[in-house]
Amino acid sequence: MSKSLELKVSDFLSQQNIAIAGVSRTEHSSAANLIYRRFRDQGYQVYAINPNADEVEGDTCYRSLKAIPRRIDGAVIVTPPKATEQVVHDCAERGITRVWMHNGMHSAVSSVSEEAVEFCEQHDITVIAGACPMMFGKTSDGGHRFIKLCYQLAGRLPA
């Protein structure tokens, strides 16, 4: 893992208020829902985002980042790339300076959008463009740490 990725991950995971964009109201085994539960179970204050839901995982769900009534420290984005672009614009409007665009081994579609990455860089938003937060730190588990090792060996971890 590069030093810059290590620092980005450490900074992101040291925050407390995390929004998870892309949670599903019906597919509780979706990557976004799994990440949401893992962060919640590890003591983070998490905020579910889905434009079509009022409740997810038994918690209040917000239609957008703009609807969350509290300060948000970071956003994990688990959406199609086109939706990622809107979410990062919302992050900039809200003053959110940390974004993690999910790209997992089992995901059919990556959340990473080159346009969204460029937008983040131009607006002083620290971006982790790929991988899964469950591969790192206290949100990780053995299976995800193994996947992280495979990604490292294959050179697939983000910069």
Res. 56 pLDDT band, cuts 50 70 90: very high
Average the pLDDT over each of 8-22, 114-128, 130-144 and give the range with the smallest value: 130-144
Any domain includes 136: yes
Any domain includes 159: no
Any domain includes 65: yes
Please say if the pLDDT value at position 159 is more than 80: no
Q: The domain spanning residue 51 has which CATH number? A: 3.40.50.720
Cα gap 10→137, rounded to integer Å: 8
Please say if the pLDDT value at position 20 is more than 80: yes
Cα gap 12→73, rounded to integer Å: 8
Number of structural domains (the chain) is 1
The residue with greater pLDDT, 159 or 63, is 63
How far from each other are the two terminal CA atoms of the chain, in whole angstroms? 8
Any domain includes 28: yes
The reported pTM is 0.92
Return the pLDDT at 151.
Answer: 81
Share of the chain above pLDDT 90, in %: 74
Cα gap 75→18, rounded to integer Å: 6
Any domain includes 31: yes
Any domain includes 82: yes
Mean pLDDT of the chain: 92
Please say if the pLDDT value at position 38 is more than 90: yes
Give the gyration radius of the chain's Cα atoms: 14
The residue with greater pLDDT, 85 or 29, is 85
Any domain includes 30: yes
Asked if 19 and 65 count as a contact pair (C-beta separation under 8 A), the reply is yes
Which residue range is the domain that position 144 belongs to? 3-154
Q: Give the CA distances from residue 119 to residues 9, 13, 107, in Å, rounded to whole numbers and listed in that order.
A: 19, 22, 23
Any domain includes 67: yes
Return the pLDDT at 157.
Answer: 85
